Amino acid sequence: MRFQDLDVYRLSERLADEIWKMVQNWEPLAKDTLGKQLICSADSIGAKIAAGVGRGNTPDNRRFVKIARGSLYQTQHWLRRAYSRNLLNGQQLDTLKPIVDELAPRLNSYINSLK
């Protein structure tokens, strides 16, 4: 199995790429503080999925996907902070919300499939 072929991985890439595009327009202070945290947590989702596949055994893969789920929750936290600090507007959240809402259950399904 190649991690690039996993729908859940491709969805995580989509989220990370959308966030990257949005943070690019922020002022330096916001970009350097909250922006870096947000990008790092979003990028970590796909990175952990890839690392899990690369470990080559099911228990490790499950553990890494659970860490990816934690990174998704961390991303949600940073998105909330960005919105409350007026760095993201409602339209931008409307772009991200369906991806986030789909990614959480897909990560859970992927974890459950690794039994």
Q: What is the pLDDT of residues 59-75, one digit of tens each?
A: 999 999 999 999 999 99
Domain 3-113 annotated CATH 3.40.50.720: no
Q: Are 69 and 105 in contact (CB under 8 A)?
A: no
Q: Over the stretch 73-103, which tens digit does the pLDDT of each residue have? A: 999 999 999 999 999 999 999 999 999 999 9
Q: So where are the chain's domains?
A: 3-113
pLDDT at 31: 97
Q: Which pTM does this prediction carry? A: 0.95
Cα 70 from Cα 93, distance rounded (Å):
20
Helix 90-113 / helix 7-23 crossing angle, nearest 10 deg: 150
Q: Over the stretch 40-55, which tens digit does the pLDDT of each residue have? A: 999 999 999 999 999 9
